[in-house]
Amino acid sequence: MKIEELLCLGNKVIHKDQTKLLLSTLLNMNPLELSLHLDEIVDSEITTKFQECLNSLKNGEPLQYALKNSNFYGLDFYVDKRVLIPRFETEELVNNTINYLQKYFSKNIKVLDLGTGSGCIGLTLKYLNNDLDITLSDISNEALEVAHINQEKLGLDVKIVYSDLLDNIEDKFDCLISNPPYISYDDKEITDLVLNNEPHQALFADNDGLEYYDKILCKCEKYLNDKYLIAFEIGYNQEEKILNLINKHLKDVKVLTKKDMAGLPRMVFIFKNIEINE
Q: How many domains are contained in the chain?
A: 2
Clarify whether residues 100 and 27 are in a common domain. Answer: no
Handedness of CA 23, 203, 198, 81 (dihedral sign): positive
> What is the per-residue pLDDT for 226?
97
The confidence score (pLDDT) of residue 38 equals: 92
Residue 146 sits in the same domain as residue 223: yes
Residue 220: predicted pLDDT? 98
- Label residue 16 by pLDDT band (50, 70, 90): confident
Please spell the DSSP secondary structure of 48-91, one letter per residue. Answer: HHHHHHHHHHHTT--HHHHHT-EEETTEEE---TTSPPP-HHHH
Assess whether pLDDT exceeds 90 at residue 273.
yes
In a domain, 205, yes or no: yes
On the question of pLDDT at 13 being above 90, the answer is no
Domain boundary among 59, 75, 98: 59
pLDDT in tens, 62-93: 999 999 999 999 999 999 999 999 999 999 99
Say whether 46 sits in a helix, a strand or coil: helix
Per-residue pLDDT reduced to its tens digit, 127-143: 999 999 999 999 999 99
Pairing of strands 159-162, 133-138: parallel
Q: What is the mean pLDDT of residues 180-201?
A: 91
> Do 246 and 258 form a contact (C-beta atoms < 8 A)?
no
51 and 93 co-located in one domain: no
Same domain, yes or no: 43 and 90: no
How much is the pLDDT for 15?
82
Q: Are 119 and 78 in contact (CB under 8 A)?
A: no
7 and 112, same domain (yes or no): no
Position 104 in a domain: yes
Are 186 and 263 in a shared domain?
Answer: yes
Could you give the CA distance from residue 56 to residue 69 in angstroms, rounded to a whole number? Answer: 14
Asked if residue 152 is part of any domain, the answer here is yes
Which domain-ending residue is among 42, 59, 76?
A: 59
Q: Phi first, then psi: what are they for 145, rounded to 5°?
A: -60, -40
CA dist 231 → 75, 224, 255, 258 (Å): 21, 13, 10, 11
35 pLDDT more than 90: no
Q: Residue 208's pLDDT is what?
A: 94
**Residue 74 domain-assigned?**
no
Is residue 99 domain-shared with residue 216, that is, in the same domain? yes
Domain contains 77: no
Check: CB of residue 203 under 8 Å from CB of residue 181.
yes
Per-residue confidence (pLDDT) for residue 39, from 0 to 100: 93
In whole angstroms, what is the distance from residue 278 CA to residue 51 CA?
51
Q: Are both 101 and 31 inside the same structural domain?
A: no
Cβ proximity of 104 and 277 under 8 Å: no
- 224 is in which domain, residue-wise? 86-272
pTM score > 0.85 for this model? yes
In which element (H, E) is residue 97 found?
A: helix 88-104
From CA 254, how far away is CA 182, in angstroms rounded?
Answer: 22
